[in-house]
Amino acid sequence: MATPERRTILLDFEKPLAELDARIAQIRELAEENEVDVSDQIRQLEARAVQLRQEIFGSLTPFQRLQVARHPRRPSTLDYIQAMTDEWIEMHGDRSTGTDDPAIVGGVARLGGRPVVMLGHQKGRDTKDNIARNFGMASPGGYRKAIRLMNHANRFGMPILTFIDTPAADPRAEAERLGQGEAIAYNLREMFRLEVPIICTVIGEGGSGGALGIGVGDRLLMFEHSIYCVAPPEACAAILWRDASNAPQAAEALKITAPDLVELGIVDQVLPEPVGGAHSDPLETASTLKRTLLDYLDELCAMSNHQRRALRYQKFRKIGMFVEVPA
C-alpha cells in the first residue's frame, strides 16, 4: 500500500500544523542557501510540531473526528486487504440480479497463513472514483453480494472479516424499489445464523443501516478516529433542527466516537491510530489491525460453533439496555 503524500489535503484544525511545517522547511532552505547552522532551532521547531500534533489530535471534538473519519486519504477496505494479506482473490456479483455493486468489495484471502473471507465498503479516492462507487453507499445488490460471500465462508469454514466505512446505505428511490430494507434485514438475520467467527471493524465512517448490513459479528472493533452512529450528524441535525449546520451539536449528542461506544458497551476494542490519523501512516495502521485480527481469530477459533453463536446473540441483546436513575 503506497503511503499517501502528507498534508496534501488539510482539515481546518490541521492548518496550524501545516503553517509550522512550512516555516521549518523555509528556515531549513534559507540556512542551506546561506550555509548557516540552525540545527538547534530546527530541532526545537520540530519538537514543537510533534507536541502540537499530539495536542490537536488528542483533543478532537466528535465533529472533528468525523472529519478525520471522512478524510479522502484515509485507508480504505482495499488498502487494508492489500497491506495485510498474503493472497487475495476478489469475487464479484450477487448471483441474484446479475449486478456487481462496486460500493462493496469482497473475496477470499489468506491472513497470517489462515484462509479467510474479507469484505467491506469501498469509497473512492477522487470525485470520479467516488461517483463510480457511490461514495461507499451500497445498493441492495451490494448487500446480497456480501451475504453470498459470507455463506461461501460458512460453507467452507473460513472466518469472516468485515470492514465498515459508509455514511449510509444507498438512499435513492431505485435502491428502495429493489428492496434495500429487505436486503439489510436479511443480512442481519443471516449473520446471526453463521457458524464461523465474524469480526467487524469500523475503519472510517459507520453510518445507519448501511453499516449494520455487514456489522453483526462476534467482535466489533473500531479505530480511534472512526465514528459509528445511527445516522450521519448532518442528517440528524436536519431532522431535529431542520438545519444541517447544527451537525457539530448533533455529533456531540449522538455519542458517535470510539470512547463513547466503548462506554456504552457497543464496541469491544478501540484500535490506536498514528498521531495525525490513519492517513498519516497507513502501513502502521494496517499492521495494528492485522495483529489485532489475528489475536481475535485465535480466540474465536478456539470456541465451538454454539459458543460463538451464543456470544454473538448476547452481545447484541445487551445493546440498548439502560437503567433509569431517579431525579
Work out the pLDDT band at 8, boundaries 50, 70, 90: low
Convert the pLDDT of each residue in 179-219 to its tens digit. 999 999 999 999 999 999 999 999 999 988 999 999 999 99
Q: Enumerate the domain spans of the chain.
A: 12-59, 64-318
Question: Could you confirm whether domain 64-318 is CATH 3.90.226.10?
Answer: yes
Convert the pLDDT of each residue in 144-161 to its tens digit. 999 999 999 999 999 999
Q: Which three cell numbers stand for residue 88?
A: 487475495
Convert the pLDDT of each residue in 261-309 to its tens digit. 999 889 999 999 998 889 989 999 999 999 999 999 999 999 999 999 9
Q: What is the mean pLDDT of the chain?
A: 90
In this model, does residue 2 exceed pLDDT 70? no
